[in-house]
Amino acid sequence: MKIPAFKDLILFENDDVIVVNKPPFVASVDERTGGELNMLRLAKKYWDDAQICHRLDKETSGALIFAKTPEAYRSVSMQFEHREVKKIYHAIIDGSHAFDNKLVDLPIANFGKGNVVIDKYEGKRAETTFNSIKFFKHFTLVECQPKTGRMHQIRIHLATQRASIVADEMYGGKYPMLSTFKRGYRLSKGEEEQPLIRRFALHAYEVSFKLLNGEEITVHAPYPKDFATFLKLLEKFDA
């Protein structure tokens, strides 16, 4: 996958911070395997002193904040620590689910290497509020607002509601195939059907935080092509 130039990903920039629209399949920071380009490396090529203020899963797209100065990094980091940063994600989930300010308050334990589980004894407090945005016959577009920032929080909290994110196999999601909901769908001889999206359908849609001057800003990240195309197909064939 060709990664756009960092400057083309920028949604907001001033003297202190940069907010970008992270593409899917790009890690936030160096992975254990190393070698691959990641958002932090790209940011440092653009701005030498760039520091990443939080992380998104490799497959997750959307709003990601970088600090350009140590003062800005401290400010944004403290806002995350004190849960003052408002984050809104959009997810496409399997099945029809009517969430109306549904609060999931289940502790999450992280045992390392992606081993994340709900654990009422070893887990740390984790809260997410869910609201359904749009209903399809076989899927639902959902707004997710995490109040805490645990690893895989939205993904595992949705799974506890039997509402796994599309294509999130780790938490019970299935890869969406057009043949399952488009009437009269036919493949050409020898053709193999491909999933409508190749990663779990989670997008960091919006982030709100305070700049160093005290001004609060809200930055909205448009859907990437794969997420937007999948939604258009659902609107056409699964409404």
Catalytic residues: 57
> Of 58, 56, 66, which Cα lies nearest the Cα of 7?
66
Angle at 110 between CA 43 and CA 70, to 5 degrees: 30
How far is the C-alpha of 127 from the C-alpha of 219, rounded, in Å?
A: 22
Is the separation of the CB atoms in 130 and 156 below 8 Å? Answer: no
> Of 146, 9, 21, which Cα lies nearest the Cα of 91?
146
CA dist list (Å): 84 to 153, 182, 206, 207 = 17, 43, 14, 11
Is the separation of the CB atoms in 124 and 108 below 8 Å? Answer: yes
